[in-house]
Amino acid sequence: MKIEKITRKGYSSTLSKEQLWDVYKSMKTQRLLEDRLLKLYKGGQLSGAVYPGIGQEASMAGIAAGMADTDIFGGTHRDLGVQIKKGVTLKEIALNFFGKHDGPSKGRDGNSHFGVVDKGTLMVVSPLPDSAPVAVGWALASQQSGSGVVAVANCGEGATATGTWHESINMAGVLNLPVVFTVQNNQFAYSSPNETEFGTPNVADRAAGYGIPAKIIDGNDIYEVIDVMHEACENARNGNGPSLIELVTFRHHGHAGHDPAEYVNDEVREFWMKRDPIARFEDSLVEEGLFTTEQFVSLNEELDAEIKETLDWAKNQKDPEPQNEVPDMFAERTKPAIQNDGSSKETMNFIEAITNGLDELMEDDENVFMMGEDIGVFEGAFKATKGLFNKYGPFRVIDTSISEGGFTGAAVGAALAGKKPIVELQFYDFVYPALDQITTEAAKYHWKAGKAVPMVVRGPTGAGTRSGPFHSISPESLLAHHPGIKVVAPSNPYDAKGLLVAAVNDPNPVMYLEHKKLYRKPDIKMEVPLGLYEVEIGKGKIVKEGSDLTIVTWSGMVSVATEAAKQLESDGINVEIVDIRTIVPLDEEIILTSVEKTSNLCILQEDVPFSSVASEISSVVAEKGFWNLDNPIVKVTPPNTHIPFAPVLEDAFIPSVEKVVKAVKELQ
């Protein structure tokens, strides 16, 4: 069989014999490893899945060889070759495939779903290409700090049909970020051929729509891959922005170990087998007189023996311990809480306290920056960023395109790179496009990859402004359901600033909910300390002492509970109000202590009732404080409907003072 010739011309021609051997060794290691993993899987000796990249070794090794050692790579499940070339060891890979305690994901994800951030590879997840916005965020951090790091966002051609890829590449183009987008076009997205995936002849044809350059290259020519990657990375490093490289290649096997790839016809397969990347590389190395066939055979035997030995070793290593799962959900804070004697104060409303907190946080720490739609010159839909763009400039108060998934994912990458991003959602209803990045990336990074993600997602919530069903949700139940994120919901200016400061200084992703009816509510204006201070996340507050009944609530409903308590007082019912302030973590102690005191519980929330925070609080009290209750727990919530627009309908939807008073009186 004739092997198509490849020749060194550009940057690859400067590589030494030792460097070329290292590239060849990484390619051969990948092929032998994946071949053995595939056999183990088909033989029932390996759980999970195997996604072989056999046939694509030049694309992977070449991408890595064209990058600098300090550059970061965001890849997919078929990128073991990049991991190997970036320095991830056979032992690390084997431990992960067998789900062992000491593997990169500590047994919490299997097969190739891992990354070793300290070696320059981002965490791999199933939804593709979810690491693309994370890589964009790392590139953003690099641009801000001038570190010179280039991020590479890789995926297959099938993943380029997703909104995630579009948002990522569009954001990178707009901000001129140092990132290279690589697409390994292996002809099939699972079983779907290219013509069913996109309407242009090539993936790279789309680059013009993003205003960035693109190249289509032979992904099985190791020299061309190295040359083009090196050029793209250096261009990005020198401030020339992103580019797109389409590497045309072919996978020898199906999408995964269980896929026989019967959809590939014999003619296509034969064409690509003649262009096997390893065979072409070997022929070139022999023709140059650098190595001999005997050396290839000897290396093959050494690697095969090492791989077998490593896999046999990994099978018998320590399994993960279930008792570690819950403690590992959140990164522990090591930074001391900020102290403030409160000697200097200013009267502020709710939104002024938030703006003041944002200003002081950014002034105190240059790593704090903001992203969101219309937050710059326009100063945000509700003016929460008033004055900040003029003070801190466009690199720290970043106006983004309408791409919640893109800029929220970018916040994850920036946080991993050492920044403290604050994302503003124009309305928290728009969190849905961002949920993939919040729950798949931000929430899982510490648990799965051991890396803290200090980021805040803040924005307006709640009904009562005649904004209808798409600008009025209370998302706390939705968010609280996902492990790995914290959820806070302040009810007054003092707590708003203190919780915001605590959220930014927390090493975990924090969802910060601002009820928009509180923004300029005149009766909750209060003195707020100037200078940074914190309200502890996870600690509730007794808003009003009482003896007959406990109302547990938060956010916009605290003022409703306070007014209801005044009316009930005239009827001889003494109410205690607990503002939990934080949904996750929940201060169970303050709730249970109050119920022990009053023996009656009413839970007041603006979110709909089914599977909600009120349901969880009811469960906690029923389980841990049942014998302290004199009566059933009562919940005052909206009906289980969407939030309507018409004033008469919205007013009927929102829990009112009258509804609270009625529910409490019926309980007595």
Residues identified as active-site? 471
Residue 225: its H or E element: helix 222-237
C-alpha 396/C-alpha 51 separation (Å) is 40
End-to-end CA separation in angstroms for the chain? 89
Alpha carbon dihedral 574, 575, 576, 577, in 10-degree steps, equals -150
DSSP string, 75-101: --TT-HHHHHHTT--HHHHHHHHTT-T
Token duo for residue 340: 């403030």
The residue behind tokens 């919901």 is 489
> Which residue type does 312 have?
D
Contacts for 316-321: CB closer than 8 Å, 24+ residues apart: 317/95, 317/98, 317/100, 317/101, 317/102, 318/100, 318/101, 318/102, 319/99, 319/100, 319/101, 319/107, 320/99, 320/100, 320/101, 320/106, 320/107, 320/108, 321/101
Token duo for residue 190: 């699972």
Count other Cβ atoms within 10 Å, centred on residue 3: 14
CA quadruple 241, 244, 247, 251: dihedral positive or negative? positive
Asked whether the beta carbons of 426 and 374 are under 8 A apart, the reply is: yes
DSSP string, 484-497: T-EEE---SHHHHH
The bridge status of strand 214-218 relative to strand 526-529 is: unpaired
Residue 626 CB burial class (10 angstroms; 0-12, 13-18, ≥19): exposed
- Return the DSSP state at 148: -
C-alpha 653/C-alpha 645 separation (Å) is 10
SS3 500: helix
C-alpha 18/C-alpha 170 separation (Å) is 39
Asked whether the beta carbons of 593 and 463 are under 8 A apart, the reply is: no
